[in-house]
Structure 1
């Protein structure tokens, strides 16, 4: 049985074609191979950034509400003790 040899360039070309084909199949399997894929990814990134900003804002608001509540309670307790 004869042996077939290929050059490094041929091997690299084969690997490159296989990688490109695999990447296209992977993108197609998740619906990102069409013309609107770039817009879809940009929108997803924008939504993710908005979600992160919202989550950060919620935590800041919760922290402020808790702080103000504690300070209000302390001020009320002091005011009640001064009134006696």
Structure 2
């Protein structure tokens, strides 16, 4: 059951008992705002520079991912080069050992 379904069900139960649904919805929205602000404050993201900080962190994470991808590509390139060199050296020794010396 999703959070929206649970909220709608609880509001329906409250309305059946005579509670004003608009008041309940306002309470729920205010509680959500308070909880979100509290969570952001605990994470240190409640100040004015939080948006810029998050943008910088996303940029740093993107750069890290690009560097990691590039490192893996370079590693695989070296693995392929070494394997090719070993295979070619093996072929050269197998078929023409005297000119390798």
Per the TM alignment, residue 69 of structure 1 is displaced from its structure 2 partner at its CA by: 0.3
**Corresponding position of 2:97:** 83
Q: Partners of 1:46 and 1:6 in 2: how far apart?
A: 48
Runs of 5+ consecutive residues of structure 2 not aligned to the other structure: 1-17
Matched, 1:67 2:77: no
RMSD of Structure 2 on Structure 1 (CA)? 1.2
| Residues 11-61 of structure 1: CA deviation (Å, up to 9, x unaligned) | 111111110000000000010000000001111111111111111111111
1:1-84 to structure 2, matched below 5 A, reads: 6-81=19-94, 82-84=96-98
Runs of 5+ consecutive residues of structure 1 not aligned to the other structure: none
Q: Partners of 1:7 and 1:41 in 2: how far apart?
A: 40
TM normalised by structure 2 equals: 0.73
Per the TM alignment, residue 79 of structure 1 is displaced from its structure 2 partner at its CA by: 2.3
